[in-house]
Amino acid sequence: MIAEKLVHAVMDQIDPDTLIDLTARLVRCNSVWDPQAGTSEAEAAALVAQWARDRGFDVAVEAVFPKRPNVIVRWKFGPGPRTLMFEGHTDVVTPGDRSRWRHDPFGAHIEKGRMFGRGTNDTKGNLAAMLVAMAALKASGIPLAGSVIGGVLCDEEDMMTGVQHFIAQGHADPVTAAVVCEPQDGLICIAQKGALRARFTVHGHMSHGAMPLSGINPAPAVARIIDGLAQLESAALKTFGEDTLLGWPSFTPTVVQAPSQGAPQLNVVPGEAKILVDIRTLPNQNHASIREALVTLARQTIADVNARYRETDRQLGIQRPWGVDVTVQVLSDRPCTQTDGNEPVVVSAAWASRRISGREPEYAGVPGATDGTFLWSLKHIPIVTMGAGDRHVPHQVDEWVDLDQLVDTARIFALTALHYLYPGADR
């Protein structure tokens, strides 16, 4: 049990204006990784580092790549086995065509209780909320057992090198649980889909469009692969069904390109084609078997398509010296994550959410991968993903966050840490 006066001691330290101001300042730092435009996470990271130093935290800034730093914000309350990590990324995706935005994407414009701008929702609002929550807990002076670590990381939107660097430097070693601060609209997400991305390359033989018999067109192999992926998906839907938190598995060809490089031309049979596949998995699906199935699909495609080419050659009395070849390469492999509902961090998050919202918490799954995927898979850290913001708004134009929900999120983050680190609160 946590005494009411302790809850108030923490709540009193959360000032909505400070949170909104920090969010706005972060949004005004254009932190799209764009070497040509000269923008990166550096400015937002420097702002966070200074903000945290001003509040007495131990702060380290580490370059993952030039101009792409991680910021590690630490505070040890007292001796204890637990270290709670809050994770929030500083990078944002491109605003795209700025003329389609109603407000400046880096202006942090506030209208009717909403702040607009790239990163308001994903995830600078939540990053500010976790920092304000950590500072509130520290300022409350409540004797807690253990530590908090804020991982303010770069490159979440692309290759997630920030979190991998954080782990490689040993920062995750003492972490016993993590709150991944992402827009989940107040839901407590305890599962995440796995992601396996692969590239099929079909090698044919380039020729004139008027003389296709002097080449080998990769197109029939492309069709065969896409059909094969649909069959794999259909089998997975039957075998694994719909997960209550995560929905359905999927095998999605997202990029189909021929030629695989250079400009396409109507009267040229391309020499090579590529297909990129984005596979999203449920906890029971085995990624090794999926990799094997992709290799088998490549082999079957070679056999089927070349058999048809040889049949055509026989009919026409010719003998082309070539056939198609298909190779498949796995580009990235991220497992599902699943945190048990009885893990202390989940219990703490649920208590905090109930305490602030007055409702029973709702559990859910995250459709995409996050930095939490690496904390879970490489360090076996139980993770909870939660935060303010409509789940469909990330990466859209006119991205926004509701400021009341954001303030409540800072309160929930702070109470989660209070409950997790208060001696005997959940034991």
Which residues bind to Zn ion, rule: CB under 5 A?
Answer: 122-123, 182
For 34, other C-beta atoms within 10 Å of its C-beta total 11
Q: Closest CB to Zn ion among 120 and 123?
A: 123
Contacts of 297 (CB under 8 A, 6+ apart): 225, 228, 229, 232, 328
Q: Is 50 left (phi over 0), alpha (psi -120 to 50) or beta?
A: alpha
Q: Is 247 left (phi over 0), alpha (psi -120 to 50) or beta?
A: left
Smallest separation, CB 106 to Zn ion (Å) = 17
Smallest separation, CB 156 to Zn ion (Å) = 6
Is residue 389 helix, strand or coil? coil
Contacts of 40 (CB under 8 A, 6+ apart): 31, 33, 34, 67, 68, 154
Smallest separation, CB 4 to Zn ion (Å) = 34
Smallest separation, CB 96 to Zn ion (Å) = 17
Smallest separation, CB 253 to Zn ion (Å) = 25
Q: Closest CB to Zn ion among 122 and 155?
A: 122
Are the CB atoms for 354 and 415 separated by under 8 Å? no
Q: Closest CB to Zn ion among 123 and 140?
A: 123
Q: Closest CB to Zn ion among 118 and 411?
A: 118
Q: Closest CB to Zn ion among 181 and 190?
A: 181
Rounded to whole angstroms, what are the CA distances from 163 to 150, 294, 376, 417?
Answer: 12, 29, 11, 21
Rounded to whole angstroms, what are the CA distances from 1 to 150, 188, 230, 265, 424?
Answer: 26, 21, 52, 71, 8
Smallest separation, CB 123 to Zn ion (Å) = 4
Q: Closest CB to Zn ion among 155 and 182?
A: 182
User: How far apart are alpha carbons 22 and 19 in whole angstroms?
Assistant: 5
Q: Tell me the residue length of the chain.
A: 427
Smallest separation, CB 190 to Zn ion (Å) = 17
Q: Closest CB to Zn ion among 87 and 408?
A: 87
Q: Is 94 left (phi over 0), alpha (psi -120 to 50) or beta?
A: beta
Are the CB atoms for 182 and 285 separated by under 8 Å? no
Q: Closest CB to Zn ion among 118 and 171?
A: 118
Smallest separation, CB 69 to Zn ion (Å) = 18
Q: Closest CB to Zn ion among 111 and 158?
A: 158
Smallest separation, CB 157 to Zn ion (Å) = 7
Q: How far apart are the first and last CA of the chain?
A: 9
Are the CB atoms for 191 and 337 separated by under 8 Å? yes
Q: Is 336 left (phi over 0), alpha (psi -120 to 50) or beta?
A: beta
